[in-house]
Amino acid sequence: MLVSPCECKRPIPDAAARDAEVSGKLLRCTKCDLRFAPGDAGEMPDELFDGKTYDPALDGDRLRRQLGRTWEAMRDGEWYTLFELSIKTADPEASISARLRDLRKEKFGGYRVLRRRRDGEGGLWEYRMVL
């Protein structure tokens, strides 16, 4: 994951940066609307992740990659269960759930991640990210 070069430091998923680079388009900060070239984005700092058990040396790269895979899996705007996302990303359901919570946080982009019960499934929830 990268971050925008503005003061907002909004997360920019690697896939979005690659798409922009290939197409020659500019990226845009979703908060301040700054437009910038993919090469101007910086690396996501380890400090964005936190918690009592978080160790940047052990967890930073793993969590950044999980966050990128989760964003990539959700970017199509379709509804997915944690199990379906786990299949798409090869990450555990608990990790996907944590990364979905991260994506809602302002420091990780403040994305709208919706949830609803899957029809007829009782306690089965599905999630959708609105870009």
Query: Is 64 found in the same domain as 36?
Result: no
* Boundaries of domain holding 37: 1-44
Query: Is 98 found in the same domain as 58?
Result: yes
Predicted pLDDT of residue 29 = 76
The token duo for 41 is: 């984005």
Please report, for the domain that includes residue 71, its CATH number.
Answer: 1.10.10.10
Query: Is 34 found in the same domain as 7?
Result: yes
- CA–CA separation, 24 vs 38, rounded Å? 9
The one-digit pLDDT tens for each residue of the chain (131 residues) are 777 777 777 777 776 777 777 677 777 777 777 777 767 777 777 778 888 999 988 998 899 889 888 988 998 999 999 999 999 999 999 999 999 999 998 888 788 999 999 988 788 999 999 87
Query: Is 70 found in the same domain as 24?
Result: no
Query: Is 54 found in the same domain as 7?
Result: no
> What is the pTM assigned to this prediction?
0.77
Helix (H/G/I), strand (E/B), else coil: 91: coil
Query: Is 40 found in the same domain as 54?
Result: no
Neighbours of 114 (CB within 10 A): 11
